Structure 1
Amino acid sequence: MAKRLQHKKILITGASGGLGERIAYFSAKEGADVILTGRRKDRLEAVKQKILAECHVECRIIVFDMSQTEEIDTVFQTVGPVDILVNNAGFGLFELALETSIEDMKSMFEVNVFGLITWTRAVLPDMIAKKSGHIINIASQAGKISTPKSSLYAATKHAVLGYSNSLRMELVETGVKVTTVNPGPIKTDFFKLADQNGEYVKSVGKWMLDPDQVAQKIVSIMMTNKREINLPVWMNGVSKLYQVFPSLVEKIGRNAFYKK
């Protein structure tokens, strides 16, 4: 039986490691041809060689810095139409709002928000023309419930959710699907930058998500009408409770929220 994603063309940003790498690998295992973007050529090349050796599909790498949003349209011209876009690239810093530099603030929004929006704008015309396509935006539970020392990161993920929810409604008659993925902390290199003192990882390490499980879940819903993926279930439950009783959740969770 043919694989579900056979010869689908999937572009994955931030694919040189972590969740993006695993999404690329499991997409390729399903028969998809993958295009991987990231800043680290050596890491991208290593991912490419593994995919070529084990999956026997087309795999292309593009060395690219997501903060250079003005270059995305030019880069896209070398890529051409895709069936699925996975906006995975992003980073965060666990710092108090007053301690975060203007430079880091701008960079975080360039990568997490403006880069995501610009890539989406680049791929959408072709998807709409063929009445088929899927935009998958990696957001975060931080986009649903903010915590101390992650104000700017949470702001970027709130923006991703707001953009995605509006976009989904705009595209409802086009055949193009929009899914947001809202994971809690995942065992990846994300925290080498975000949590440089290691306190957050030490506090929540036993609850961290396995990147392979998250990636497989994402691949399993590709080209389906899945609105959101929320992981883990218990954390999403807290996020839902927060929407109804924000003051209560902030009071009860104050000590846990400050463990960064």
Structure 2
Amino acid sequence: MAHDLSGKNIIITGASGGIGAEMATFCAERGGNLILLARNLEKLNQLKVVLENRFQVKVSVHKLDVSDSNEVEAIFSTILTEFDQIDVLINNAGFGIFKEASEASMDEIKGMFAVNVVGLMACTRMILPKMKEQKNGHIINIASQAGKIATPKSSVYSATKHAVLGYTNSLRLELSKYNIYVTAVNPGPIETNFFDIADEKGTYVKNVKKFMLKPEYVAKKVVDAMLTPTREINLPHWMNAGSIVYALFPSLFERLGRRAFEKK
């Protein structure tokens, strides 16, 4: 049975679509109040109307580009005056561009790190004093299987997700004494508009279509783990098994998997 989130205040970045919107829906269904953040305010307002009408929960929305640290500070300061308690922060905002290392522009490289890494850290930093004061809370970082298995044409994206995993693992150790849970979510490819940017030619999507995860499936797994001491959520399970083999036998894994990796 799904656990109750009534009265819990949940922040979700990148909430205007994909698994962000799906997680918001599952949270609202279980009674959670939502603070939804994304660059597209129009989509956020549309989602707000739907969720408030369907589930009679409080939904607050703010336009936010997480790559702008000043904007993060201003918006989160507003949120912290509006809500006495923050129970969950889901750092979901992120994007990728699949190009070989020599082809990625410096703007693309800086952009991915600004959103996927620095933006995530900036949002987390703003919420930590409140959660430490409360002595409870849950930070959920949406990373990727790419943070465990690096493949061709995803060097920069994989680097950002490796960084997210390193940050998450350190944060978990730092916050355990405050009764704050920290979870990394490592999905494989998800059937969302993420690939409209990441895979402009559609080659990767065509090759992995049958393996792609449904956004609602990933979102439900995350919300099911909310406010529990879950270290990682790895999806699909068979792909995570590959990451374990990779960690143990990297040279063998790279040699045997080379043909599959080149399908991107």
Residue of structure 1 equivalent to 2:124: 120
Task: Determine if contact 1:9/1:84 at 8 Å carries over to the other structure.
Answer: yes
Q: Does 1:253 align with 2:249?
A: no
Q: 1:2 to 1:14 in 2, by over 3 A?
A: closer
Q: Give RMSD over aligned pairs.
A: 1.2
CA deviation string 1:96-124 (max 9, x = no partner): 00110101111110100001011111001
Task: Determine if contact 2:2/2:224 at 8 Å carries over to the other structure.
Answer: no
Task: Determine if contact 1:69/1:110 at 8 Å carries over to the other structure.
Answer: no
Deviation, structure 1 residue 6: 0.5
Residue of structure 1 equivalent to 2:93: 89
Q: What SS does the aligned partner of 2:178 have?
A: coil
Task: Determine if contact 2:89/2:124 at 8 Å carries over to the other structure.
Answer: yes
2:212 counterpart (208, 212, 216): 208
Deviation, structure 1 residue 67: 1.3
CA deviation string 1:170-229 (max 9, x = no partner): 111111110000000000000000000000000000110011011011001111000000
Letter of the 1:32 partner, please give it.
G
Letter of the 1:25 partner, please give it.
T
Residue of structure 2 equivalent to 1:8: 8
1:180 counterpart (184, 190, 196): 184
CA distance in 1: counterparts of 2:70 and 2:244, whole angstroms: 37
Q: What SS does the aligned partner of 2:229 have?
A: coil
Q: What SS does the aligned partner of 1:171 have?
A: helix
Letter of the 2:154 partner, please give it.
S
CA deviation string 1:2-37 (max 9, x = no partner): 962101000000000001010111011110000111
Letter of the 2:115 partner, please give it.
V
2:170 counterpart (152, 166, 171): 166
Task: Determine if contact 1:187/1:210 at 8 Å carries over to the other structure.
Answer: yes
Residue of structure 1 equivalent to 2:74: 74
Letter of the 2:217 partner, please give it.
Q
Residue of structure 2 equivalent to 1:140: 144
CA distance in 1: counterparts of 2:174 and 2:65, whole angstroms: 29
Residue of structure 2 equivalent to 1:157: 161
CA deviation string 1:125-148 (max 9, x = no partner): 111111110000000000000000
1:109 counterpart (107, 113, 121): 113
Letter of the 2:20 partner, please give it.
G
Q: Which moved more, 1:153-162 or 1:2-11?
A: 2-11
Residue of structure 1 equivalent to 2:40: 40
Task: Determine if contact 1:22/1:212 at 8 Å carries over to the other structure.
Answer: yes
Q: What TM-score do you get using the length of structure 1 for normalisation?
A: 0.98
Task: Determine if contact 2:91/2:141 at 8 Å carries over to the other structure.
Answer: yes
CA distance in 1: counterparts of 2:92 and 2:127, whole angstroms: 15
CA distance in 2: counterparts of 1:171 and 1:210, whole angstroms: 32
CA distance in 1: counterparts of 2:189 and 2:139, whole angstroms: 22
CA distance in 1: counterparts of 2:203 and 2:239, whole angstroms: 19
Deviation, structure 1 residue 73: 1.5
What is the total number of aligned residue pairs between the two structures? 260
Letter of the 2:141 partner, please give it.
N
CA distance in 1: counterparts of 2:48 and 2:202, whole angstroms: 31
Task: Determine if contact 2:3/2:224 at 8 Å carries over to the other structure.
Answer: no
Letter of the 1:16 partner, please give it.
S
Deviation, structure 1 residue 255: 1.0
Q: Which moved more, 1:52-61 or 1:146-155?
A: 52-61
Aligned residues with identical type, % of pairs: 53
